[in-house]
Amino acid sequence: MSTSTGQQDLFATETDTMTDAKATKGAREKTAREPAARGAETAESMAKRQREISVSEFFTKNRHLLGFDSPRKALLTAVKEAVDNSLDACEEARIAPDIVVTIARIGQSEKQFTMTVEDNGPGIVKAQVPNVFGRLLYGSKFHRLRQSRGQQGIGISAAGMYGQLTTGAPVRVRTKPGKKSVPLAFEIKIDTARNRPEFKDTAIEWDKDHGTEVAIDMEGEYRRGQKSIEEFLKLMAVANPHVKLTFKDPDGNVIEYHRGTKELPKEVEEIKPHPHGVELGILLKMMAESENRTVSAFLQQDFSRVGPMVAKEICAKAGIKPETNPRRLDAAAVQKLKAAIDATKIMAPPLSCIAPIGEELILAGLKKEVEADFYVATSRRPVVYRGHPFAIEVGIAYGKPGDTLHMTDAGKIVEVATKKAENQEVLMGNADEPIRLIRFANRVPLVFQQSACAITKAVIATNWKNYGLQQPRGSLPIGPMVVFVHIASVWVPFTSESKEAIASYDEILEELRLGLMEAGRKLGKHVRKGKKLANEFKKRNYIETYIPHLVVALKDILKLDEKEAAKARESLTVVLEKSRKL
C-alpha cells in the first residue's frame, strides 16, 4: 500500500485537497509569522509568502486542465500525448509511422498500469531526452507557427509527472536516433520544485534502426467502449490512414489498424505570425526578443505579409517613427502600435502552411475503419481567423451494411449481407440512435467535452432534415451515420490546455456550417435514393407474397401441372418487377 499514498493525494476529493492545502499553508505560516503580531497583514508579511510557483506545483493543482482529472481519462491522455509526439516526429522526418501502444497491468492491480508507446521515428538526441520527457513546457512546437499535433510541449512531460506522482516510478525512455547511433535507455525523474529533470542513462542493445519508446507507470483505469483507448486509436486510424497502429491491451489482445495509404501528409511550411493574430502580450514579448533594431524591420521580419509599405502605414497610424528601436517603445506606444495594426488592411497569411487530410484520404480512412454503404467527404479551402489560417474538412459514413439494399444490374433488389467487423470497436450507431460525431484537430481525435465544442454546435445547428434525416430540436440528428469533422490549423483554438474542444470563433463556425452543408447535400441525394429503394423493396416483397397465390388459383382452375405453374410464376415475377420504374 506504499504507493497508494500518492494516489490518494492526487485523487482526494475537493474538500480533502483543501484541507491538505490549508494544513501545509498553516505550517508554513506559522514559521514565517511567529514574530509578527496577530492581526492585519502587512505588505511585508505578504511578501514573505509570495514566491515563484513551480510548474509542477501548478500541474498538481490544475491537472484537470491537462486532461488528468480521472484515472480513466489519465491513461487515455497519456497515450494520446505519446502517440501525438511520435506521429509529429515521424512525419517531420518523413517516415511512415508504425506505432505500437501497449497497456499492461502492474502486478494484478486494476488500478496501476504501464503505458508504453513505441515508434519508428527519428529518435531523440541524447542531450534532449531528459528535457523532452522531464520538463514541462519544453519543446519545439510552442515557438513556431506550424501545423502539428502538439502545440505547447506540455503533454508528454505532464504524463510523466502524473505517473511519477501516482506511482513514484520514473519515466523510462529508449531511443535510437539513427542506424549507426548507440541506443540509449533513460530513467527520468522530474524535480517538481525546480521543473528540472533528474536522469540516468545507459547504453543498451536495441534491434531497431531508429525510433523511440516511452514507458510510464501510472495510476489509471482501463475500460472498453466509448472514450476508451481502443476507440481513440481507431479514430486516430481514421484521420491518419498513413499510420500503422498496433494496440496490445492488458488482457493480451492485439488489435492492428492497418495502413490505408503510403502517402504521408504534405510537408507543411512554418509561417511567421500574422499581425492580426497577435495579442498585446505576445507583441510585447516579440518586441523584447526581436533582433531587429527598428520597428519597421521588426514588423517586416518577424511577421508574415508585412512589406515596407504596410510597415510604413502602421507606423504612421501609430504615430511612431519607423526607425525607433522596438525595445525602446513604452507600453502606451505598443498599445498604439497594436491598434494601428488592427486598423490596417493586411493581406491574409499564406495558406501553404495548412495540410488538410484531403477528400481522398478522409474517404480512405473512413472506409478502412467504419463499415457503411455510403461515404462522402468535403475538404474546404483554407481561410483565416484572427490571422491564423485554418481549414475545415467533413466526412460522412452512412448506412449499416445489412440494413441497406442494393439494386443489381439485372434490376433485382437484394439486401447486402453484413460483413463481420475486424475491429471490435464499432463507431456506427443504430438507425434509431443519434449519429456519432467524431472530431479531429490537426489529425488528433477529440474525445472529451463534445458538447462544449464548436464542431458539435455547428453539427446541431445544421438542418439535417433537409438531407433526409430526423433531427430533434437542438440535438444531433438520428440515423446510422458517422460524421467526421477535422480542423487543420497552425494554431487550433482549444477551449483549454487539455485540448478537448474547439472554441467557437465566428469564422470557424461559418466554415463548419459550409462544410457540413456541402457534405450534407451529397448525403441527402443518397438518403433519398435509399428511401426510394427501401420502399420499392417493400413493394416487391409484397408482390412476391401474392404471386404464388395467384398462380395456385390459376393452377386449380386450369388444372395446370407443376412445370406449367412454375413457368407462370417465373414469368409473372418478371412481368411485375420489370414494370416497376425506379
171 versus 551: smaller Cβ distance to another protein: 551
The yes or no reply on residue 566 touching another protein (CB under 8 A) is no
Shortest gap between Cβ of 528 and another protein (angstroms)?
A: 20
Work out which of 254, 556, 566, 582 binds another protein, going by CB under 8 A.
556
- In single-letter form, the type of residue at position 176 comes to K
Q: In the window 533-552, what residues touch another protein (CB under 8 A)?
A: 539-540, 542-543, 545-547, 549-550, 552
Cα gap 286→283, rounded to integer Å: 5
Length of the chain counted residue by residue: 582
Work out which of 30, 557, 562, 563 binds another protein, going by CB under 8 A.
557
The yes or no reply on residue 580 touching another protein (CB under 8 A) is yes
Give how far Cα 192 sits from Cα of 23, 164, 500, Å. Answer: 20, 10, 26
Which range touches another protein (CB under 8 A), out of 125-133, 144-152, 511-519, 573-581? 573-581
Contact 497, 152 (CB under 8 A): yes
Work out which of 47, 558, 566, 582 binds another protein, going by CB under 8 A.
558
351 versus 550: smaller Cβ distance to another protein: 550
Shortest gap between Cβ of 403 and another protein (angstroms)?
A: 23
The count of other CB atoms within 10 Å of the CB of residue 65 is 15
Cα gap 212→196, rounded to integer Å: 21
State the burial class of residue 267 (Cβ atoms within 10 Å of its Cβ: 0-12, 13-18, 19+).
exposed
**Which positions from 192 to 231 touch another protein by CB under 8 A, shown as an x/- string?**
----------------------------------------
The yes or no reply on residue 452 touching another protein (CB under 8 A) is no
Q: Does residue 336 sit in helix, strand or coil?
A: helix
Work out which of 65, 264, 517, 554 binds another protein, going by CB under 8 A.
554
- In single-letter form, the type of residue at position 298 comes to F
The yes or no reply on residue 571 touching another protein (CB under 8 A) is yes
Q: Does residue 369 sit in helix, strand or coil?
A: helix
The yes or no reply on residue 579 touching another protein (CB under 8 A) is yes
Phi, psi of 9 (to 5 degrees): -60, -45
Which residues make beta-bridge pairs with 213? 118, 174
Q: In the window 501-540, what residues touch another protein (CB under 8 A)?
A: 539-540
Cα gap 205→184, rounded to integer Å: 8
Distance of CA 374 to the CA centre of its chain: 24
Shortest gap between Cβ of 391 and another protein (angstroms)?
A: 49
Which range touches another protein (CB under 8 A), out of 287-295, 335-343, 448-456, 566-574? 566-574
Q: Please report how the helices 229-239 and 71-92 are oriented relative to each other, as an axis angle in degrees rounded to 10.
A: 30
Q: Could you identify the residue written with the cell 519508446?
A: 213
Chain contacts with another protein (rule: CB under 8 A): 539-540, 542-543, 545-547, 549-550, 552-554, 556-558, 560, 567-568, 571-572, 574-576, 579-580
